[in-house]
Amino acid sequence: MGVILSEKAASEVKKIITEQNLPAETVLRVGVQGGGCSGFSYSLNFDTQTSEKDRVVEVNGVRLAVEKKFDPYLDGTVVDFYDGLEKRGFVFNNPNVQKSCGCGSSFSV
């Protein structure tokens, strides 16, 4: 199943790529890093390099790259974009999360 990018998030990613004039081969790299109050936190960044360690897919017109080692942590995760009065940014809806912190940016599986 992998990581899914909502249409709203894809639209925001495409807008950022255009505004920052990033190269055509740019991918959105989704990952996990150690840290945060619950053990892990999500990472999102742009990259122009991929390797055999990555699972690269196109979702809603955006190329996503996720290192295969993160599959157990991210499988089925939907990356969405929230634009409300109190906050604005990317959010992760991860079915694998057992526990998360109050801020919503760290988790454990």
Distance CA 88, CA 72 (A): 27
Domain chopping of the chain, boundaries: 4-108
**What's the pTM?**
0.83
The two beta strands, 27-34 and 40-47, are: antiparallel
Distance CA 25, CA 87 (A): 30
34: pLDDT confidence band, cut at 50, 70 and 90? confident
Q: What is the mean pLDDT of residues 10-33?
A: 95
Q: What is the mean pLDDT of residues 71-95?
A: 91
Kindly indicate whether the domain formed by 4-108 is annotated with CATH number 1.10.3720.10: no
Cβ atoms of 35 and 106 within 8 Å: the answer is: yes
